Structures are given as structure tokens and as C-alpha cells.
Amino acid sequence: MSGQVREEVSAARRIVVKVGSSSLTTAVGGLSGERVDALVDALASRLGVPGTQLVLVSSGAIAAGLSPLGLRKRPKDLPTQQAAASVGQGLLVGRYTASFARYGRTVGQVLLTVDDTTRRSHYRNAHQTMARLLDMNVVPIVNENDTVATHEIRFGDNDRLAALVAHLVHADLLVLLSDVDALYDGDPSKPGTSQVADVRGPADLAGISIGGAGKAGLGTGGMATKVEAARIATEAGIPVVLTSAAHASRALRGEAVGTLFHRTGSRTPTRLLWLAHAADTRGALHLDPGAVRAVVERRLSLLPAGVTGVEGSFNAGDPVDLVDDAGVAVARGLVNYDASELPELLGRSTRELAAALGPQYERELVHRDDLVVLR
């Protein structure tokens, strides 16, 4: 199988590569210059293909800061994690700068938080910045801003972020590098398990336990977060390769190593992917069964007549969940009204509202162009 070439991988021109902490550090937690150089060697080889652009989403700031601070393992408390990130981020980017310089390449640091992917204006600015860096032949080095992050510092080890970045920069391919060389159909440490070479949809994951974490204990992302990241990317039309950092060069050449998650959807407008996967909703609108059918099955706009209740405090333009009578979010969209305006609108037709309150109320609660179905 290793002699085969994955055409969609070898043909990719804009590539996002994500590497985890355990692939960059020593066993005691310090940054390994040899591992960083080996990774950069693989990336530089792919960058040598004409027309190739690359974004690197790199974990490792906290892990890189452990040794200088005299810490033997990743701290559990948030302030110490953030202190380690503050020390380690400079070391991490400095090492990348020196390593890429061997190939005449310049890097640019891009630090993001969840807030940068949930606020539309931040998201747009991040897109513009990275597009400009790529146009200038710079390799963006992306990481979560662990020094100021809160919840996300303990979640996902950048896997979800990498999937969102892949869509943000309109990537042709996402490569997830870990300390595990592929997805397995069982515990890879036990005999009798096999690699999963291809995943073409959810059915291929049926019966596979994906809860296992990496081996080194320095990162936070297990296999479940990588599979979730692959789902986000492939649903947006971006294929994903999951393999080990040791196989990075072969994977980027298109060799059949690791697991290839085939695209399951088509390219999604950036604003809709943002709504589906990045947006931090500010509230919820409860829909009656007729409104659920209109939104989910017929892909129509949401009108006030089909809404039975409102949760949360939000302003016009904020993302909100649209939930059914069981409380399950069936869609998400940008609401056209402030929460305070809605109580007197619910259950009434737009024609009735326009007659009673004025023509400005003859509009949808959520327009279908600002709405994404979740199920």
C-alpha cells in the first residue's frame, strides 16, 4: 500500500499541518531541537514543490516552557500552565525561526483564541492576515494563545483549531501529525489491531473506539479530538491525513501512510462553517414542529410565527441555536432582532407584525442565508 500515491494529497497546493506537543518535546518536557528540525525538514521538502503554501498549527508552548521553569510534568493548575506557555511560546517560535531559516524561509507567529473564531470580525481579520502572509511566502505558525486562554487551554490540543484554520485559509489539505501513526480499529498497543487506511464517512468509524489519548502525556488531544477535527474539515470539503510526525515527509508526498479521511461534503461558505463549528452562541430560539420542518427539511427562513420561546440575552446579528421541542439544537443562525424585542413577536405572522408595529418588522427572525442546519 505504501507504494500507492494519494492524488488528492500530492496535488494539494495550500496545506495546513498540525503537530502535537508530544511530537516536538523530549520525554521530560523540554523542546527537542532535533524533533523540530526533523519536522521542518519534511515541511521544507513539500514547500519545494512549486506553488505550495503551508500553514503550521503547532502545539508545544506549554511543554516547551516546562524545563526552563524546572517543572517535570505538565502542571494541572491554569496559572502555572499559562506561565509555562508565556515562557515556552518564545522558545517554540524562536526554534522554528532558526530551523526554517536553513531553507531561506521566514515564519510569522499567529496566536489565536476561541474568541478569534467565534467573533465574526476577528475571524475575518485572521483570514486576511494569513492570506497576506501566504502571499508573501511566509509560513504562518499558528497556536492557541495559551497565555490568556481559559477553557480552550485544556481542550483539543489545537486539533479543532487546525480544522477551522484549514477552512479559514481555504486549504486543499489538512495533515494531523501525532505520536500515533494512524487510526486503528482497536488499541494499537495490543496484538490483533489493524490500521484504518481510509475513512469515507461515519459508517467506516462504526464500532471503532476512538477515545484513546496519545502516549506521551504532554499534550491534551486524544484520538477523539483528531477524528472530530477530521469530521469538521471533511464536511467542508477538505481531505485529512492522520499520521505520525515521523511519517510527515512521506504523507506530504502523497504516499499511502496513516489514515486518509476523504472529503464528505463540498466547500462551505466561510460564514456557514463559522456558524456550524466556531460560533459561540448567545442564546436559543425554541421552534414548534412546523418551524423545525421548514428550517431543516425545506431550508426556509425562520419566521416569528414558528417560535415558541427565547433563551439568553443577545443582540441582532448574534449567533443563536434553533432548538426543537425536545431541546435539541437542529440549526444555528444569525438572529435579526435583539432578545428584548422578541416576546411580542412570537407566534405572529410577519404581515400582522408589519401592520401593527411597522414595515421594519416584516422580516425573518433568521434568514436562510444566515442559517446552517446541524442535523
Amino acid identity of residue 23, one-letter, is S
Between the two ends of the chain, the Cα-to-Cα distance in Å is 36
Across residues 119-138, what is the average pLDDT?
A: 88
Q: In terms of DSSP bridges, do strands 106-112 and 240-244 run parallel, antiparallel, or are they unpaired? A: unpaired
Q: Does residue 312 have a pLDDT over 80? A: yes
| Binding-site entries for ATP | 18, 178-179, 220-226
127 and 168 in contact (C-beta within 8 Å)?
yes
Quick one: what percent of the chain has pLDDT higher than 70?
Answer: 89
Closest CA to 288 of 322, 238, 317: 322
Q: What is the DSSP string of 297-322?
A: TS-PPB-GGGEEEEEE---TT-EEEE
pLDDT tens digit sequence for 157-208: 689 889 989 988 999 999 999 888 999 887 777 887 888 999 998 888 887 7
CA dist 289 and 296 (Å) reads: 10
> Which has the closest alpha carbon to 275: 193, 340, 331?
331
The region of weakest confidence among 7-16, 47-56, 91-100, 151-160 is: 151-160
Same fold, 7-268 and 281-373: no
Q: What angle do CA 346, 323, 206 make, to 5 degrees?
A: 165
Q: Where are the domains of the chain?
A: 7-268, 281-373
CB 34: neighbour CB atoms within 10 A?
8
Query: Given CA atoms 178, 243, 44, 130 in this order, what sign does their dihedral have?
Result: negative
pLDDT, mean of residues 326-354: 91
Contacts of 98 (CB under 8 A, 6+ apart): none
| Per-residue pLDDT, 148 | 65
Neighbours of 310 (CB within 10 A): 22
Q: Which residues are annotated as a binding site for substrate?
A: 59, 146, 158
**Homologous superfamily of the 7-268 domain (CATH):** Acetylglutamate kinase-like (3.40.1160.10)
> Which residues contribute to the annotated binding site?
18, 59, 146, 158, 178-179, 220-226
Per-residue model confidence as pLDDT tens digits over 209-246 = 775 444 433 344 578 889 989 998 998 899 999 999 99
Weakest mean pLDDT among 112-116, 234-238, 289-293? 112-116
Kindly tell me if the per-residue pLDDT of 295 is higher than 90.
yes
CATH architecture of 281-373: Roll (2.30)
Question: CB of 256 within 8 A of CB of 57?
Answer: no
Contact in structure between 8 and 145 (CB atoms under 8 Å): no
Band (pLDDT 50/70/90 cuts) for residue 115 is low
Residue 251 pLDDT > 50, yes or no?
yes
pLDDT level of residue 149 (50, 70, 90 thresholds): low
pLDDT for the residue numbered 80: 92
CA–CA dist 23, 25 (Å, integer)? 6
Q: pLDDT, tens digit, for every residue of 4-50?
A: 789 999 999 999 999 988 899 887 667 889 999 999 999 999 999 99
Is a pLDDT exceeding 50 seen at residue 298? yes
Hey, how many other C-beta atoms are within 10 angstroms of the C-beta on 368?
17
Q: How many CA atoms lie within 13 A of 17 on its CB side?
A: 29
Higher pLDDT, 113 or 84: 84
Q: Which cell numbers hold the place of 172?
A: 486543499
